[in-house]
Structure 1
Amino acid sequence: MIMKNYLKFIKLNEESITPKYLQIYNAFLAAVESNQLEVDDVLPSINDLSIALDVARNTVERAYRQLKNFGVVDSVPGKGYYICKVDFTHPIKVLLLFNKLSNHKKIIYDALVARLGEFGVIDFYIYNNEINVFRKIIESKADSYDKVVIIPHFFDEEESTYKLIETINKDKLVLVDKLIKEVNGDFCAVYEDFQKDIYGALVELKDRLNNYKTIKIIFPANSYYSKNILEGFINFCVHHSFDYEILSNLKNEVMMEGTVYINLREDDLIELIEQLISTNLVLGQNVGIISYNETPIKKIILNGITTISTDFMMMGETAADMIMSGCKSHVSIPFKVTQRNSV
């Protein structure tokens, strides 16, 4: 058995959000595919590699375990790990681009990774809603991947952003969470229908909403949220004769009896609750709250906050299925209302 210089092909990218154990796993697979590693080549010990790469021991252990599960690596007690197979079907290389980290984005990520399993290797980046960061990643990396999976939310420059996405090979492209009508051709998309979703959710809640006079939605200015949410909200209020208001923030808001608030951001939900506590108003009787995106804590806060939410687990699993099947359909994910005591 021959020991090779493994540091030649293992390069950890500190900018990538891809877990380091997956980066190590991907690097070994790439080295096997490029013939830098051959059958019977010895891998460094878990201890040696963790020290050389300056990562936790369990990070290397997890990478080796995944390589062993994939069947490329085996181990002999007392001798360590070695390459046992080089003739394998290479997993699908996925460039995954999220606009930000959040609870529901984590659900999408976890579901996608679990569904792909050994069939995909993922490099994960966050571009923080910034077009320039997004452009740099796309222009420098997209060509090197089998699939480019994007959650396309930006603060501004939408037209130039869409043109950039248009340059991506449609056989590779998978849009998640938002369908962009300006992107043409046959490609995969799994998305929220923002206008239809909020309209349908409010129709489902109409019997409870009839106890209130005014509905206010907090829609932050200069945000990445889809303006189709506002279209669906306004259409519902007009069609069903509710007074309505669009707030960019709660800075000057004074809670009044007969008002229902819809929040998109968790920070605004906290502010609503703080204001409510400072009044004599009773949630679910004098005022109401409807919150976007289901999270476990909303079951508990003030005896339960009513939520409207996409099935983010289904979104991640459907995206993974599209990656593996290569299908080019557009799939709208169901939107769910969870009624609780806040309305």
Structure 2
Amino acid sequence: MIKTFRDFAQAKQDSKTPKYQQLVNTLLVDIEKGNLQTGERLPSINEASEECYLSRDTVERAYSELHRLGVITSIFRKGYFISGKSAKTKTKIFFLVGKITENNKDIFNAFVNAAGKDVTVDIFTYNYKSENFRDTINNHLGNYHYYVIMPHLIDETDENIKCLKKISSERLIFLEQSMKAFENSTAHVLSNSEYEISSVMQQHIKHFKKYKTLNLVLTEEEYFDAELITGFRNFCESNNFNFQVLDGFQEEEVEAGNVYLTIDDIDLVAAIKSAQNQDLELGKDVGLISLNDSCYKEILAGGISIISSKPAEIGKMAADMIKGEKRQQVQVPMEMILRKSL
């Protein structure tokens, strides 16, 4: 039995897309990818019905739609075969993020630009909630050629893993964060936050030595990798820096002789205001670093130093994997851009 139908039986569940259309979409994807060749015989309606756990009417409707599109042909008493024609549909990509942050927008825009004109990319959000995460995936199973997912703040529960396993590993790409259950089976473009944050700060250690205390300002409003805390702590301890991990910043005032690494831009602005109110000069009396760049940080307060996970590179690499039909597992190094604030 053709692998396409076996995969369909295992993966296509819970979607709100009609079953016949799910089967149509699955076959179109495999035809376009070359997994089904011209002249290849499809299972009979009875065989496909049994293999995919679908009614005969559902399979017959799917085959009729494919015949209408010209991608399959029927021969009396012999069956259904892949024709030499193509449905000429664009490659459709499902792109799932927790929220539309500046960092995620940079990744998405770079991905779309690198993917090219023959690709349609639809972006969805799940607001960092597991139920929304699963519902969004389930509601769009079978509608896309590839699924690009950033599983931020999604725990590896049985429910979440079961949901993701409905997607063929050949069509799934993780960005920024992966899951242990998929480490060796799916493509991903990640950043090792624990190692990278320590490494990039070590490269610029001379700029930190003029300050007495380093502060990492956490947030509940934006996603961040928990390994960031470990990497920050490792850098400080290995270089004998005094350090603090602060839970938010709104009620705090910056202190002279301190460096603040902010994750949330709200905290960044609060720190700038606090420094200005105390006539503290950024880069001299107090240091400021922001996690990830944006168009305004280069000019804000004379220039804010940043540590970046290179979102544009992450997006481009993911698009290149799809265009080249590669299943790679890539680590992207962080970078630090020095500006006036440090």
TM-score by length of 2: 0.71
Q: Helix, strand or coil: the match of 1:152?
A: coil
CA distance in structure 2 between the partners assigned to 1:268 and 1:298 by the alignment = 13
- Structure 1 residues 223 and 327 mapped into 2: Cα distance closer, same or farther (>3 Å)? same
Q: In the alignment, what sits opposite 2:244? A: 245
1:298 corresponding residue in structure 2:
297
SS of equivalent to 1:144: coil
RMSD in angstroms over aligned alpha carbons?
2.7
Cα contact 1:179–1:192 (8 A) shared by 2: no
Q: Once the 2 structures are TM-superposed, how far is the Cα of residue 143 of structure 1 from its aligned partner?
A: 3.2
Give the aligned partner of residue 157 of structure 2: 159
Once the 2 structures are TM-superposed, how far is the Cα of residue 124 of structure 1 from its aligned partner?
2.0
Say if 1:166 and 1:184, in contact at 8 Å, map to a contact too: no
Deviations 1:186-244 (A, max 9, x none): 21101222112211121122101000111100112486321010010010011010111
Quote the residue 2:179 is aligned against. 180
Structure 2 Cα separation of the partners of residues 292 and 230 of structure 1: 13
Q: Which residue of 2 aligns with 1:48?
A: none
- Is the 2:250–2:267 contact (alpha carbons within 8 Å) kept by the matching residues of 1? no
Mapped contact 1:170–1:185 kept (Cα < 8 A): no
Percent of aligned positions that are identical: 27
State the distance in 2 between where 1:35 and 1:261 align: 63
Gaps of at least 5 residues in structure 1 are 1-32, 39-85
TM alignment of 1:172-321, pairs within 5 A: 172-221=171-220, 224-321=223-320
**Is 2:107 aligned against 1:146?**
no
Query: Do the aligned partners of 1:306 and 1:339 also contact (CA within 8 Å) in 2?
Result: yes
Paired letter, 1:159: T
Change (3 A) 1:308 1:222: closer
Q: Is the 8 A contact 1:142 1:148 kept in 2?
A: no
Q: What per-residue deviation string (whole Å, max 9, x for no partner) do you get for residues 9-68 of structure 1?
A: xxxxxxxxxxxxxxxxxxxxxxxx857679xxxxxxxxxxxxxxxxxxxxxxxxxxxxxx
TM-aligned CA deviation for residue 88 of structure 1: 5.4
**SS of corresponding position for 2:278:** coil
1:163-194 deviations in Å (ceiling 9; x for gaps): 54344321111001223334344211012221
Whether the 8 Å contact between 1:196 and 1:232 is mirrored in structure 2 is yes
What does residue range 48-67 of structure 1 map to in structure 2 within 5 Å?
Answer: none
Cα distance change of structure 1 residues 324 and 140 upon mapping to structure 2, 3 Å threshold: same
Alpha carbons of 1:280 and 1:162: their partners in 2 closer, same or farther (altered >3 Å)? farther
CA distance in 2, matches of 1:120, 1:243: 50
Q: How far does the alpha carbon of each residue in 1:265-292 deviate from its partner, in whole angstroms, 9 at most, with x for none?
A: 1111111111111113221111100111
The one-letter amino acid paired with 2:120 is V
Looking at structure 1, the residues matched to 170 and 255 of structure 2 have their Cα atoms a distance apart, in angstroms, of: 52
Tell me whether 256-265 or 216-225 shows the greater mean CA deviation.
216-225
**Count of aligned pairs between the two proteins:** 267
Amino acid of the residue matched to residue 139 of structure 2?
A: S
- Secondary structure of 1:218's partner? strand
Distance 1:311 1:222, change over 3 A: closer
| Residue correspondence of structure 1 range 102-117 to structure 2 within 5 A | 102-117=101-116
What's the counterpart of residue 28 of structure 1?
none
- Aligned equivalents of 1:246, 1:271: Cα separation in 2: 17
AA in 2 matched with 1:285:
K
Deviation at 1:130, TM superposition (A): 1.5
**SS of structure 2 residue aligned to 1:108:** helix
For residues 134 and 275 of structure 1, do their structure 2 counterparts lie closer, same or farther at Cα, with a shift above 3 Å needed?
same
Measure the CA separation in 1 of the matches of 2:308 and 2:220.
21
- Amino acid corresponding to residue 142 of structure 1 in structure 2: L
Range that drifts further, 126-135 or 177-186 = 177-186
Q: Distance in 2 between matches of 1:163 and 1:225?
A: 25
Alpha carbons 2:292, 2:306 under 8 Å: kept:
yes
Contact 2:291 2:308 in 1 (8 A): yes
